[in-house]
Every structure is written in structure tokens, then in C-alpha cells.
Amino acid sequence: MKEYRKSTAREYFESICVAVILALFVRTFVVQAFKIPTGSMENNLLIGDHLLVNKFVFAPAATAVEETLLPIDPIARGDIIVFKYPEDPERDFIKRTIGLPGETIELRNKKVFIDGTMLDEPYVQYLWTPSDEEGTFDFDVRMTYGPVTVPEGQYFMMGDNRDNSQDSRYWGFLPREYIKGKALFVYFSFGDEAGTNVFSSVRWTRLLHQIH
């Protein structure tokens, strides 16, 4: 009997199909590329940064066995997360997790307090810093907010660039089911100074920059 052999064209076709399926699987369930469009997370994340987002790390576990064996983490304060914007789920936002379920959040003179204790935030940038003599500015959520308690299954998110961030102070709490993944690292970054040479716009020092 003559041995059956696949044609070279068919082998290439099958290889391409497998590669496409794997790429779609990775894109859908494991990692996602995300581009920073605004300055709400400066100076940690810059406009033009391209990130990889781990979509698997916060995936729900169906059983205790899955939770033990798979690399699934609970959402923690300080995690930088990509999520569906609650007021327009077709858009993706990226912010830092500040308040966890059951915690009471309050802003006093721009400082964040969790259950009455001031949060140490070395990553925060302000456009201006108020003095104690300037009052509380009760009308401005950039200055004074809360106290509010984070409901179960929801989170309080804030941008690092506090005076230039559309976050939970404006649109409320983030439901757990809107979370897409945790930002891992910057795999590429472009600035505005492109000029005639495209390489001049690449921020080489930010390549593979870990996000924290």
C-alpha cells in the first residue's frame, strides 16, 4: 500500500491554522495588548506606552482545586488593572486599585484614608498641592471625597495623576465582572517627538519596563 503523505501546501495551511487558533486563544484568555491613551497614570505610565495585560491572573476559579493549582491571584490594593469603563463598557480604562470590598474610603485634602488610616502613596502625582490653610474644598472631589464604603464584589479605582484622572471619584465603584486583567510591563513606547526619523520617537529606556 502506498504511504499517504500530506502535501507541502496542506502542511503549511494546517500550521497557519494552528498558529491562528493559538494566537486567538492567547489573545482571548491569556494576554492582551493595551495602549495608554491619556496621562491619568503619569508618571508611572505615559501616553504612548504599549502594555501587555495578564487576563488570566484574575480569572474566576470554578473549584477549590483550580484555585490551588492555577496561578490565580486575588485583587490587591496597588494592582494596576485594565477594565471595562462602567459608563461605557465598550471602552477600556486603566487605573490603580485603591479600595477593596468592605473598606471605607475618604479623601481629606487630597490624601487617601482607608478605614481612617492615611495611605502611603509614593506613586501619586499632583498638579498642585494644597496647604492646610486653604480649607477642605467640599465641592471638589479631587480634594474631599467620602467617606464611602466599598460594596462587596466592587473596587475603588484611582489614577496616579490624581488631578487629571476620571476615576471612581466621578463614576463610582468598579464591579468585579468588568475587570479584564492586570498590567504586566511596557513592551514598547512611543513619544511625540517623531520628527523625520521614526526611531527618535521610541522611548528605549521604557522597553520591558515593569509596571508596579
Q: Which residues are catalytic?
A: 40, 95
Q: What separation, in Å, do the N-terminal and C-terminal C-alpha atoms of the chain show? A: 63
Angle at 155 between CA 149 and CA 161, to 5 degrees: 105
Q: Is 134 helix (H, G, I), strand (E, B) or coil?
A: helix
Sole residue written with cell 504586566? 184
Q: Is 52 helix (H, G, I), strand (E, B) or coil?
A: strand
Whether the Cβ atoms of residue 109 and residue 132 lie closer than 8 Å to each other:
yes
What secondary structure does DSSP assign to 20-31, as a single string? HHHHHHIIIIIE
Residue type, 114: I
Backbone angles phi, psi at 53, to 5 degrees: -115, 125
